Amino acid sequence: MAKKGSVLIVDDEEIMREILQALLTREGYDVRVTAGGADGIELARAMPFDAAIVDVMMPGMDGLTALDELKRIDDDLPVVMITAFASVENAIAAMKAGAYDYITKPFKNDEVMAVLRNAIERKRLVAENRALRQSLQERYHKFGNIIGRSPRMRQVFDLIIQAAPSRSTILIQGESGTGKELVARAIHSNSPRADRAFVTVNSGNLPPDLLESNLFGHVKGAFTGAVYPKKGLFELADKGTIFFDEIGNIALETQPKLLRVIQEREFMRLGGVETIKVDVRIVAATNVDLHKMMEEGRFREDLFYRLHVITIELPPLRDRKEDIPLLVQHFLEKYGEENNRKSLELTPDALDLMLEYDWPGNVRELENVIERAVVLATGKQIGTELIPDQVRNRPFFQLPQVVLPPEGISFKDVISDFEKRLIESTLETAGGVQKRAAELLHIKPTTLNEMIKRYDIKPRRKKSPNGNGPVAAGTPGSSRPVSPPPLEAAVAEEKL
């Protein structure tokens, strides 16, 4: 059987080590066990692990101390804490200290496996993100903070590389917050003009006269207050790149003057008679439909086609959600460094919220959410409580559209069918763990169990070949662990 990953188990109870080792080995994991925190630390220094399971209460070095030392060795190592003491205090302390998750005794095998799978997947994702960023940097040179691995973003990267060396005008189209200026800077950085000026024009923030003065400059006495001659942005951008942000906002009376510069590469200062020639690469961006504006007479047709030589379409974040984990990791590192809060990570539930939300504000909105969470975080993990309401209060499902037949329909049957499908979907999301599914549905585990039996819902996850299952190692709330059952009984699978 192919190994699914390497796991370190640190527990002072021999029977518990044997149970976990048997369970994980049977499921295809490479397992190493130690009886104490100090031995576990030495083993972690000697070889890498994909995850660790550590008992909280151990003689000598306790679990929280071992957790801290393990994170010093490998900060990306997901550590799952396990304890017979089902106390909220222990769980909170472990999570604040950097634990990936916790499990209380007595635990169920499917719960252990679900948490472990998620933990190892998280570590794999972090490593993949880092390798991908390095790969993108090597392949695409200087891309600054443009982050993405989705097919649509790779198309954007390829267009940048192909178009950057030319002097052709480029139009970048995309919704607000998609990173149009970052793409413009990447074009400049990958062009022969990289060592010259990159000048940004905020097209919609100025009235026409003031915008023209800023673009073309003015001579002394051109207007009241013009006591000195002034160079315009086109002159400052000579031999470099000028970027027009939201070019659709430029007034109609200014558009022909901009067109002349694009066509002739020359202009006159406001109030002047001397023609000034420039060599400027023009990159423009818009979040509106310029073609529609042209048809409505609000944007010049000749200017539209001069800008529309090479077009780069930036996809909204909702259309490239596979990039969200990579973006999250990037912003965690960026704002963690700025706020001296390194090694922060999102909990799986928080990341799930990120992946389900549609991000109308795109990457800019995601960046703001992560920056806020980094500033407000008190531990090393960012949970759902630090995610803003507009992200957290997303609809979890959409009601199906019902077409009523002429003879009508049974209201009771429709509701029952919907309940069954909702429970099945939630169980799948929770990795088959009933307790977690009940928490997601905000109902009691006993209520969920009754509904599972009523609807005869079967688990969708793959069962182990010999039917082994839950572990009972103590009673909930007990102050001391009791003797666990024999190994054979301890690994008998519980049916949903």
What digits encode the pLDDT tens for the residues 205-261?
677 878 888 898 888 887 777 778 888 899 999 999 999 999 998 989 889 999 999
Relative to beta strand 275-277, strand 266-268 is: antiparallel
3-state secondary structure of 286: strand
The CA distance from 155 to 136, in Å, is 13
Query: What integer best gives the mean pLDDT of the chain?
Result: 82
Identity (one letter) of the amino acid at 406?
P
In terms of C-beta density within 10 A (0-12 exposed, 13-18 middle, 19 or more buried), how is residue 21 classed? middle
Q: What would the mean pLDDT of 331-348 be, rounded to a whole number?
A: 88
Residues 6+ apart with CB under 8 A from 236: 197, 199
Q: What is the CA radius of gyration of the chain?
A: 30
The CA distance from 438 to 423, in Å, is 9
| pLDDT for the residue numbered 380 | 84
Domains of the chain: 6-130+481-490 (3.40.50.2300), 151-314 (3.40.50.300), 318-392 (1.10.8.60), 412-454 (1.10.10.60)
| pLDDT for the residue numbered 86 | 55
Q: What would the mean pLDDT of 444-456 be, rounded to a whole number?
A: 88
Distance of CA 128 to CAs 4, 121, 132, 174, 180, Å? 16, 10, 6, 28, 26
| pLDDT for the residue numbered 313 | 95
The CA distance from 344 to 370, in Å, is 11
In terms of C-beta density within 10 A (0-12 exposed, 13-18 middle, 19 or more buried), how is residue 480 classed? exposed
| pLDDT for the residue numbered 493 | 33
* 365 alpha carbon, distance to own chain's centre: 12
| pLDDT for the residue numbered 477 | 36
Residue identified by tokens 């189209």 is 173
What digits encode the pLDDT tens for the residues 291-308?
999 999 999 999 999 999
What digits encode the pLDDT tens for the residues 397-421?
555 666 667 777 788 888 888 888 8
DSSP 77-134: --EEEEES---HHHHHHHHHTT-SEEEESS--HHHHHHHHHHHHHHHHHHHHHHHHHH
| pLDDT exceeds cutoff 70 at 26 | yes
3-state secondary structure of 424: helix
| pLDDT exceeds cutoff 60 at 45 | yes
Residue identified by tokens 């990037």 is 330
| pLDDT exceeds cutoff 90 at 183 | yes
Q: Are 160 and 190 in contact (CB under 8 A)?
A: yes
3-state secondary structure of 144: coil
| pLDDT for the residue numbered 490 | 31
| pLDDT exceeds cutoff 90 at 101 | no
Q: Which residue has the higher pLDDT, 18 or 128?
A: 18
**What is the sign, positive or negative, of the torsion defined by CA atoms of 150, 156, 160, 166?**
positive
- Report yes or no on whether pTM surpasses 0.95: no
